Structure 1
Amino acid sequence: MSSKIEFRYLSEPDTIAAGVLDMPSCVAVMEETFQLYARGDYRMAGPNNDSHGARMTFPENPAIPTMPAHADERRFTAMPAYLGGSFGTTGMKWYGSNLENRDKGLPRSILMFMLNDTDTAAPLALMSANLLSAMRTGAVSGVGAKYFARPDSKVAGVVGPGVMGRTTLAAMAAVLPELDTVKVRGRSQAGIDEFRAWVGEWVPQIRDIQVVYSNEEAVRDSDVVAYCATAKAGDVENYPLLKREWLRDGTFVAMPAPANIDEELEDLSVRKVVDSYGLYEAWALDAPYPTHNFVGIIGCKFLDLVSEGKMRHWDIEELGAVVEGSADGRRSDDEIVLFSVGGLPIEDVAWGTTIYRNAAERGIGTLLPLWDTPALA
């Protein structure tokens, strides 16, 4: 038996050639991922095996002069997971983030993904993961829209025209064939211009792009809404706010970024769906109540409402059960659904495995040697 090991390196252009930007395929892969999640055929980190990952931050006033100080969005995070089914692979997304990167012409976060053979732990691929991560995050909202949005939805409202807003819109368009209009609220003209250009190239189904100047304008009269604006964790007063009075009956709202809701939306008549209940439980283990003050994703707010006695834990529904067929999706034309997207490492494994297999089949990427024989065995 040969002990030689080599793995495939995929640059960002390589991942594009291997189909990382194929949103309909990504939505289908995420749908399969949540079926496996519902069946328990996965593992993630943490004591409940549902953790987002392990995060390292820096102190506000480091005692070591050469150590970086805390800054907005400055952190390193490791996100390991195993996913079964047709995947059967294990992987980890590793990323560093710093808001100051934008002053250097770099994205806020720079991500890599390592894929391994589950049995031997041998590396299969190392790939650029900024696009992988952006696509899988957007695609999860697409899966949510497939099961919870009205199928005749025509108008989308997007708060935050950045990468997450673009991929979330693309994913919803992939499952809602009549969606043809978007109202977008952004902070800068440059962001709006980039949004227009990207949607024109990648979501030609959207024929009407309307620029609005408040969250309320983006939400009112929309059939589906995406809350994708960035906000500083812990600054709850400045989390983008969603009000019940802005929403017409039947609206589906995807919330993959920090956000808050008014008291009327806390009511049990508004359905609250999460990607993984255990994900928010894991965050609650790391951050004391109210967890939403530390992690801005709205699912943390949902669990805080449970702690306050305003909801019961079973009032919070999971996407996987709906995809797997053991729970209902949309029940009526007039129900409002809030969908929290926190981001599961199994999603990176699923889309990363798909891209790796596409690349291997098409001969894309560079094969790199690990060893012919290990020096220590």
Structure 2
Amino acid sequence: MGARTEFLFLSEPDCIDAGVLDVARCVDVCEEVFGLLAQGDYLMGGPNHNSHGMGVVFPASSPFPNMPVAGPDRRFVAMPGYLGGRFDVCGNKWYGSNHANTEKGLPRSVLTLMLNDKETGEPLCLMSANLLSSARTGAVPAVAARHLASATARSVAVLGCGPINQACLKAIASQLPNLESVIFYDIFEAAAEKLADWARRTLGVEAIIESDLQTALADAEVVTVAASRVKPLVIQNDWLAPDATVLISGPISGDDAFWLDNRIVLDHVALHEAYVEEAVASPDKQAAYNGVIGGPLYRLIDDGKLPALKDFTDLGTLLQSPAAHGAVDGQRTVFVACGMSVFDLGWGYETYKTALAKGIGTSLALWDAPYAE
């Protein structure tokens, strides 16, 4: 007779009750995950252990009437991983994305996270993951802001005013105690107005909407980038303040000086090496570069204008050397984050343990005993 297997189900309201929106705690947990990345105590998908995930990309056309075809932001992606340290858990973030969802009153992406026992593979928790993913997406650049930006920074420029940058701004603001003003830039003025109104009410800051990108950047001490791919976001390095900290969580096209003349800090070097490895193996390397945030950087490396990725600094390694923290007077810093499933595992595990401690969620049975003839 086999053993009964139960797991916890956490709806979105359950996750909220379990603290998934606790920004300060999420930033702390993500910093802890960066430490595990630096130690190498993690695994992600693929033979290189650093693949961002396995995606289903739909064809432009199909002879099968029910098969989905390509559309804006339309895909399914599985992002498996293992996270060590006190987490010591396996899991998978699974999401489907379709820009047309918004016409149905749904988020563009619908996400779930499954945590599993590392030994048996049994499910531990299935949870709603839209808020979880948003929280950790914002917390990653916030960890960078904590350690790379000026502690006295008073101004932030927000480039792209959608849900991702809202999460980023919320977390980054938690690390800037002197924040006074936020400048909002978006190709859609209504999006900028909506986020600016939220910032006034929630963060208590002066919120300025700016339609000219150069003007938006001129005096910003911290810049958070999470723009969509609808229109390329193109900036020139000399538009930035001399000691600006630029936190990149979405696509951006800078001039060569943006990448060549500034201090570049990556989220995790091995992740970017995996992106390049997968691009080289793809039918069109340049097209693969176009699909990832680090693409402009990889091209300059290929052209011999920058050193190999292995010679770059990443945030986890930097956190092991406290002397290297902080802003550098007169020098800009650019932090590049591409997203890693281990951050979802870390924040998901923290949410799960809190839910267990507070009796939140619904216990479900996979089986009372595995079926056997």
Structure 1 length-normalised TM: 0.93
Contact 1:183 1:218 survives alignment (8 Å): yes
Rounded to whole Å, the distance in 2 between the matches of 1:242 and 1:315 is 25
In 1, Cα distance between equivalents of 2:243 and 2:372: 62
CA contact (8 A) 1:181 1:207 kept: yes
CA displacement, residues 195-246 of structure 1 (integer Å, 9 cap, x when unaligned): 1354345x42x421111112222211000001111105xxxxx421121111
Q: Which residue of 2 aligns with 1:56?
A: 56
* C-alpha distance in structure 1 between counterparts of 2:134 and 2:366, whole Å: 29
Indicate the larger mover: 18-27 or 189-198: 189-198
Q: Determine helix, strand or coil for the equivalent of 2:274.
A: helix
Do the aligned residues in 1 keep the contact of 2:183 with 2:216 (CA within 8 Å)? yes
Matched with 1:179 is 179
On the 8 A contact 2:200/2:206 being kept in 1, the answer is no
Q: How much does 1:36 deviate? A: 0.4
Q: How does 1:155-170 map to 2 (within 5 A)?
A: 155-170=155-170
What's the offset of the Cα at 1:183? 0.3
Amino acid at match of 1:305: L
Matched, 1:68 2:61: no
Q: Could you say which residue in structure 1 is the equivalent of 2:135?
A: 135
Provide the identity percentage.
38
- 1:279 and 2:275 are equivalent in the alignment: no
2:116 partner letter: N
Residue 174 of structure 1: how far off its partner (Å): 1.4
Q: Which secondary structure does the structure 2 equivalent of 1:175 belong to?
A: coil
In structure 2, what is the equivalent of residue 362 of structure 1? 358
Deviates most, 14-23 or 313-322: 313-322
Cα distance between partner residues in 1 of 2:359 and 2:225:
38
For 1:272, the aligned partner's letter is: I
Aligned structure 1 segments of 4 or more residues deviating by more than 4 angstroms: none
Change (3 A) 1:189 1:264: closer
1:22-56 C-alpha deviation (Å, 9 max, x unpaired) = 11100000000000000000000112111101011
Is 1:252 aligned to 2:245, yes or no?
A: yes
Gaps of 5+ in 2: none
Residue matched to 1:195: 195
Match of 1:240 in 2: 233
**1:71 partner amino acid:** G
Match in the other structure for 2:114: 114
Task: Specify the code of the residue in structure 2 equivalent to 1:192.
Answer: A
The amino acid of 1:316's aligned partner reads F
Instruction: Report SS of the residue matched to 2:48.
Output: coil
Once residues 124 and 197 of structure 1 are traced to their aligned partners in structure 2, the CA distance between those partners, rounded to angstroms, is 40
Q: Can you list the C-alpha shifts for 1:40-80, whole angstroms capped at 9, x where unaligned?
A: 00000112111101011111111222211111111000001
- For 2:68 and 2:184, locate their aligned partners in 1 and report how far apart those are by CA, in whole Å: 36
Q: Which residue of 2 is the match for residue 318 of structure 1?
A: 314
1:210 equivalent in structure 2: 208
Distance 1:371 1:198, change over 3 A: farther
Q: Deviations over 1:307-336 (max 9, x none)?
A: 110111245221110122288233622211
Q: Which amino acid aligns with 1:372?
A: D
Q: Which region of structure 1 is more displaced relative to structure 2, 327-336 or 109-118?
A: 327-336
Q: How does 1:1-16 map to 2 (within 5 A)?
A: 3-16=3-16
Q: Deviations over 1:169-199 (max 9, x none)?
A: 1111111211121000123354234313543
Distance 1:215 1:86 in 2: 43
Match of 1:278, SS? Answer: helix
Does the aligned pair in 1 maintain the 2:327–2:333 contact within 8 Å? no
CA distance in 1, matches of 2:79, 2:323: 28
The 2-side partners of 1:266 and 1:162 are apart by 25
Match of 1:262 among 232, 255, 262: 255
1:272–1:315 contact (8 Å) kept in structure 2: no
The residue type paired with residue 65 of structure 1 is: P
Q: Secondary structure at the match of 1:158?
A: strand
Q: For residue 337 of structure 1, report the CA deviation from its aligned partner.
A: 0.9
Using the TM superposition, give the Cα deviation of residue 339 of structure 1 relative to its aligned residue in structure 2, in angstroms: 0.9
Contact 2:184/2:196 (<8 A) preserved: no
Instruction: Give deviations 1:257-287, integer Å, cap 9, x for gaps.
Output: 11111122132x3111111222222222332
- The one-letter code sitting in structure 1 at the alignment partner of 2:295 is C
Over the residues paired in the alignment, what is the CA RMSD in angstroms?
1.9
Q: Distance in 2 between matches of 1:35 and 1:213?
A: 39
The CA deviation at 1:306 is: 1.2
Query: 1: CA distance between counterparts of 2:166 and 2:232?
Result: 20
Q: What is the CA–CA distance in structure 2 between the aligned matches of 1:315 and 1:200, rounded to whole Å? A: 41
